[in-house]
Amino acid sequence: MPIDLSVYQKILSTCSAYKAKLVAVSKTKPVADIQELYAAGQRDFAENYVQELLEKQPQLPSDIRWHFIGHLQSNKVKQIAGIVHLIHGVDSVKLLQEIDKQGKRIGKTIACLLQVHIAREETKFGFDETSLKAFWEDIFSKRLFFDHVQIDGFMGMASFSEDQDLVRSEFRSLKSIAASYLPNGIISMGMSADYQLALEEGSNLIRIGSLLFGSRN
């Protein structure tokens, strides 16, 4: 499907008003769609399945910055270590250790965001505030030092809800967590349905899929 570049331009100008970065979420979409947005100047794209990323990446220009936004299993880190620009969903020490190990193997420091569970909805993924605090203390007090991992910030997803106050308060909680741990870090929050709220609440990186590429099946 051809991409509506006026939507792209509009999102870009909103991003620039908030000094935020736009990551185009291309999951399930064909390489041709990515090429179209690439031709319009977009360089940051995101996938959420390892296999899909591995299939698409070699078919596309090498200056694309690939973001991994799905749940990453430790045993798959090795496959994407060399091509990934930023891993958004790190939610355990075990995963961080594996990323560090693979970074060491290929001589690359791999940039990561810690995923924080901010939505009211139940999910298995992401740190809650208590486990994040414990994790942070472990890393810094016990000097679990990962020299091939760089923690650049935080990522979160708000509830899938019409309740704007709820969504806003969830974004606000991530912003406040991010500010207390890494004041100048990346705050990856906001998707097609809620990016405006996310930007108003302090996001500096939005992940937009369906608004750019059309809805997914």
Residues in touch with ligand PLP (CB under 6 A): 25, 27, 48, 69, 157, 191-193, 207-211
Farthest CA pair distance, the chain: 52
- Tell the smallest beta-carbon distance from residue 175 to ligand PLP (Å): 17
C-beta closer to ligand PLP: residue 99 or 208: 208
Residue nearest to ligand PLP (CB): 209
C-beta closer to ligand PLP: residue 81 or 211: 211
Instruction: Give the integer Cα–Cα distance in Å for 92 and 63.
Output: 29
DSSP one-letter code for 127: B
Q: Which of 94, 97, 72 is nearest to 84 (CA)?
A: 72
Q: To 10 degrees, the CA torsion angle through 64, 65, 70, 75?
A: 100
- Tell the smallest beta-carbon distance from residue 145 to ligand PLP (Å): 28
- Tell the smallest beta-carbon distance from residue 112 to ligand PLP (Å): 14
Q: How many CB atoms lie within 10 A of CB 54?
A: 14
- Tell the smallest beta-carbon distance from residue 66 to ligand PLP (Å): 14
C-beta closer to ligand PLP: residue 20 or 191: 191
C-beta closer to ligand PLP: residue 103 or 209: 209
Q: How many CB atoms lie within 10 A of CB 31?
A: 14
Beta strands 44-47; 21-25: pairing state: parallel
